[in-house]
């Protein structure tokens, strides 16, 4: 199977499968949860849509990055939040309901605004024309086909056959992780030469963006006065992005596999700060009179 088939067919199909399983795990009560913490939810959306792109710009300007690497950082910073953040929030003793709410909101909103925001950001570095041009309406359509429609279909199936699919929720959540793992493995192997180049030249910058995102989310949430659990969750939600969506936009729509490799490496590396956070919290909890501090 060649790289073109992987990028144009396998990648979108696997993404749609992930979104379908996500929809199968959702109920109407999840949307009711969205309304229960508007302050934290509003901050989370702001962190994802504004603060993370600003952090990407900080790195781009500070290190005077070349256009292709800058385009990759901006693309991953504008992608929706990743579904794996829900599991990470749970392991980090975060606010899981808030995490799910933010995943839902970003998955519903970003397909419509990502192409527009991406072209707007690219224009500031003179990248609005070829080879970074994005057809806005076709991109919105494709993002809806691989994200919104599968999510809606999954929720309908779950509602229609509640007795059958309700008890299988944990299985759906695990299957999403399995599909994501397969997707990463296939993309990494198919584009292994390009991925190795990204790792050699850009790994520190990508990991730096991820670490900055985690720390900024926690710090800003502290300034706002949110509870500790929500601070952790907002840090996680700021750093964890849907790398699959970013890869699809880069490889399937823009025809830029190099940008997809930047998103792929971020998708792998973004778990490292999460592991550090979880390990720190677990260690603190094991201390005598220890509190699950950040």
pTM listed for this prediction: 0.82
- Reference 10, options 247, 176, 195; nearest CA is 247
Q: Say whether pLDDT at 215 is over 90.
A: yes
Which two three-digit tokens encode residue 284?
């603190």
Question: For residues 211 and 22, what is the distance between their CA atoms, to the nearest angstrom?
Answer: 26
| Mean predicted confidence (pLDDT) in 72-76 | 94
DSSP-based three-state secondary structure for 66: coil
Considering only residues 212 and 160, tell me which one the structure prediction assigns the higher pLDDT. Answer: 212
Alpha carbon 27 to its chain centroid, in Å, reads 21
Which two three-digit tokens encode residue 140?
């919105």
Q: Within the chain, what is the greatest distance between any pair of CA atoms?
A: 60
Question: For residues 150 and 68, what is the distance between their CA atoms, to the nearest angstrom?
Answer: 31
Q: What is the mean pLDDT of the chain?
A: 83
Q: Which of 62-66, 257-261, 285-289 has the highest mean pLDDT?
A: 62-66
- For 136-187, what is each residue's pLDDT tens digit? 888 888 888 888 898 888 888 888 887 776 666 667 666 766 776 777 777 7
In which band, very low, low, confident or very high, does the pLDDT at 216 lie, cut at 50, 70 and 90? very high
Which two three-digit tokens encode residue 9?
């067919």
Considering only residues 198 and 47, tell me which one the structure prediction assigns the higher pLDDT. Answer: 47
Domain 3-286 coded CATH 3.40.50.2300 = no
Question: For residues 119 and 78, what is the distance between their CA atoms, to the nearest angstrom?
Answer: 11
DSSP-based three-state secondary structure for 81: strand
Considering only residues 42 and 125, tell me which one the structure prediction assigns the higher pLDDT. Answer: 42
């Amino acid at each position: 199977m060649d790289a073109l088939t992987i990028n144009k067919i396998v990648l979108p199909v696997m993404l749609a499968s992930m979104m379908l399983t996500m929809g199968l795990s959702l109920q109407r009560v999840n949307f009711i949860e969205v309304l229960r913490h508007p302050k934290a939810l509003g901050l989370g959306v702001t962190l994802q849509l504004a603060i993370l792109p600003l952090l990407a710009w900080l790195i781009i300007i500070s290190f005077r990055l070349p256009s292709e690497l800058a385009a990759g950082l901006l693309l991953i910073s504008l992608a929706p939040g990743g579904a794996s953040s829900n599991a990470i929030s749970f392991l980090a003793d975060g606010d899981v309901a808030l995490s799910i709410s933010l995943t839902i909101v970003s998955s519903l909103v970003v397909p419509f605004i990502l192409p527009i925001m991406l072209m707007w950001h690219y224009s500031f570095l003179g990248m609005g024309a070829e080879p970074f041009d994005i057809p806005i309406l076709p991109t919105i359509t494709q993002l809806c086909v691989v994200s919104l429609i599968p999510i809606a279909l999954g929720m309908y199936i779950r509602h229609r056959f509640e007795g059958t699919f309700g008890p299988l929720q944990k299985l759906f959540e695990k299957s999403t992780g399995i599909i994501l793992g397969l997707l990463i493995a296939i993309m990494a192997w198919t584009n292994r030469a390009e991925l190795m180049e990204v790792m050699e030249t850009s790994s520190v910058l990508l990991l730096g963006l991820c670490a900055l995102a985690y720390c900024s989310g926690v710090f800003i949430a502290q300034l706002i006065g949110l509870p500790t659990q929500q601070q952790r969750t907002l840090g996680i939600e700021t750093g964890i992005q849907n790398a699959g969506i970013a890869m699809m936009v880069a490889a399937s729509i823009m025809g830029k596999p190099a940008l997809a490799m930047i998103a792929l490496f971020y998708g792998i590396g973004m778990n490292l700060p999460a592991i550090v956070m979880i390990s720190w919290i677990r260690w603190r909890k094991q201390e005598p009179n220890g509190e699950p501090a950040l």
